[in-house]
Structure 1
Amino acid sequence: MDKRKKTSQMQERAMKTMPLGVNSNGRYWGKKVTPYFQRGKGAYVWDVDGNQYIDYRLAFGPVILGYAYDEVDEKVISAIRDGVTPGITSQLELEAAEKIVELCPATEKVRLVNGGSDATQHALRVARAYTGKEKIIKFEGGYHGSYDYVLFSTYAPPSTYGNSRSPITVPASSGIPSALGDLIITLPFNNLEILEATLKRCGNEVAAIITEPMLGNFGCADPLPGFMDGVRRLCDEYGIVWILDEVKTGFRIAKGGAQEKYGYQPDITTYAKALGNGYPVAAYGGKAKIMDIVGQGVTQGGTYAGNAVAAAAAKATLEIMSTQNVHGYIDAMGSRLQNGLRAIFKKAGIPCLLSSMPAIFSVSFGIESNLDAREWAKADASIYKKIAARAFEKGILIDEDPREPFCMSYSHTEKDIDDTLEIFDEIVRTL
């Protein structure tokens, strides 16, 4: 019996109207293997054939509480009944913004926008306006959105990046104007020496340094001790705005994200994903003296920015995080899964590195450390892909791309973890 007959049929149908049959490139896994979603509840999703999966993809991280989470959905439904997009500011927007400022120590003022790309794009514009400079620095392998200004040295093979002391800025896609490469400097992550040498040459031209707390789309490379402190120091020294991109980590690794967990003090922070438990909402915010230039000759707008669905979802999600032990529970479940996976791969004699935190982590094979995109490129992606494909066949949904992380939710149970480990143990024994 074909377990994915309807899935194959839907893909054939979708290919007629959508490029690759999907609306985002990361959703395409190939012919006859690309999943098509029917519904989700808690930690589970079902495809159009009715196959059930324990989901550790969680829509690339947003589903922090669980799919169709009643406490959030009820607030959203109530808000919808009063009108979704009024075009004037609502009390819901204000309350969502107040909650973000309450939870995030380095965020004094905030604006709601529609997605992570919106958030980082506006943050960069504000940084350029505030400093009067145009260039930005990003780190190789860091993903900060799907627009042209930041899609450099992101998905290209690290073998194309050139020498680490004088990296080549590589566009991630055809169609990106080559002139934009003159406005961005790409550097290896975790290397303060190279960052400092670069700023000595051109620090007076740099408006912003944009970093993730870890490389969330490239094996979850964590910063070395002191690296983020060094970034903060150099930004102060050269009059540069430090943008901390917490689209993946914000409200996921702690209520206040990395700035709460590690005490980081960025100038601007960007948020999305876990902010609304899967509803489309994002934000950027930071120091009042910087944010107050918005509207003072600095443009930021959006027809749907702060709409009722987004604001209600954000407010409800953050209130649940504030009143329940969401992150303690997620850390416990994530640690259970991490420890179990380590034991399975160690027993099988398969060298394996689990990077980053229990709430969001990567599994990489054949490397002992992951400091940057160049080092991660030495990992054995083929082992991961084999395991991911077999896990999918057995009802475990992880991303087929080895650069992407496992994510945990408030709805995963001990039984889910134990069932997952049993399946992984079976898979590994057959490799």
Structure 2
Amino acid sequence: MSSLESRKNYLNACTRCSSCKWVPVVKSERFAHICPSVVHGRFHAYSASGMLINGYSLLSGTVAYGETLNDSIYSCSMCGGCDVSCKTNFADLVEPLDSLYALREKIASENQQPQALKAIAQHLRALGNPLGLPPERRGEWTAGTGLGRDGNGPASVLLHVGDDAFDSSRWPQLHHVVDLLRRHGLSVATGGVQEPDCGALAFDIGERQLAETLARKTAAWIQASGAKHLITCSDAAFSAFRNIYPRLGVTLEGVRIQHISEWLAEHPSPPVEGRKKEVVTYHDSCKLGRLSEPYQPWTGEWVTELNSLPVRTGAPKTRFGLGGVYDAPRQALAAAGAQVVEMERIREASFCCGAAGGADACQPGFAATAGRHRLEEAVATGANTLVTSCSQCSRHLDRLASEDGLALRVVTLVDYLRERTTTEQPIETGVPA
């Protein structure tokens, strides 16, 4: 039985109410959507509910693969906003995000996914990264840090970097993190070239077996390091460690997993003397936010009650997105003298920038629409600076803001704090070479 086939009861449970399209608490019509796919497609087929209908139709053979079907299914960043809104009304009855994972898995298993996603999967298999870059470049960022390109250890902290290792514009912030950790008396180890891809993107695009292979490789690397404390600079990896690995049966037992924003909040740095308080707005990335809520597998079963009603035994833990990391970045910003003015859609109801889930590769039009809608919301706050913990969000939003000539600076959390708390000069946002 396919993963999607096993979710028929969930597909059937969708009432087509359209809750998946809207934030749980609407503050204005302008920023009422939680689903970037609907903002782009403007039709029910682009919503989670519409995708569940298409998934059921694929199972029953009443719809065929084609460009139109792929457009509606892959104009989606797998951000999980639909899941938060659906569960506000229906708890764990529908769980649309899990069905979307299963739908993509079915499509990939039948080799019907977009070519751009096939290329990403091939890069991950052959090169260990989704960018198609030589794997030896993963260690280049360590130059000047005293860390080895091939990794080093043991140490009190294992620093996980992710794909920022391939982006030279991110290296100063990585160097800053290493320096901060050492200033607090911590010895630092990193994987360099040996750090595996965490498997997060493979899972998002439906390559479950590949994701599990990469997850197990990453877990083995972490365990072999001997580290009991891992700090990651990657929102996607943090989400994978807490939310995806349990789905794949991969554990990181005995290792404390922490996102760099959490560590920065625990070790706040004041602004350099003379720096005035600055008004900024903060973008909650999906991966650090609702998608990092720890996942607990359900171990019950479906039974039929009253001769017709399918119900689940056991008490599954409903995830409303509340267990993500929201306070730490804001605490770190406040300590550095920043005043955060909030957008309407924040925390578990944050609106996705559109770049995740392979969308920027296979549906760039969708990704741009979502990103511009988020930028519109940021501009509406009156802030001149948009801060986010996620490098992928930052790159995507910064490029769009530049293309549109917006008077809005987009910067990562670590770089912003580096600017506020040291005398180092700001750096320009860039893209992987």
- Write 1 or 2 for the structure with the bigger share of strand: 1
Is the pair's TM-score, using the shorter chain for normalization, greater than 0.5?
Answer: no
Q: What range describes the TM-score normalised by the shorter chain of this pair?
A: under 0.3
TM-score of the two chains, using structure 2 as the length reference: 0.28
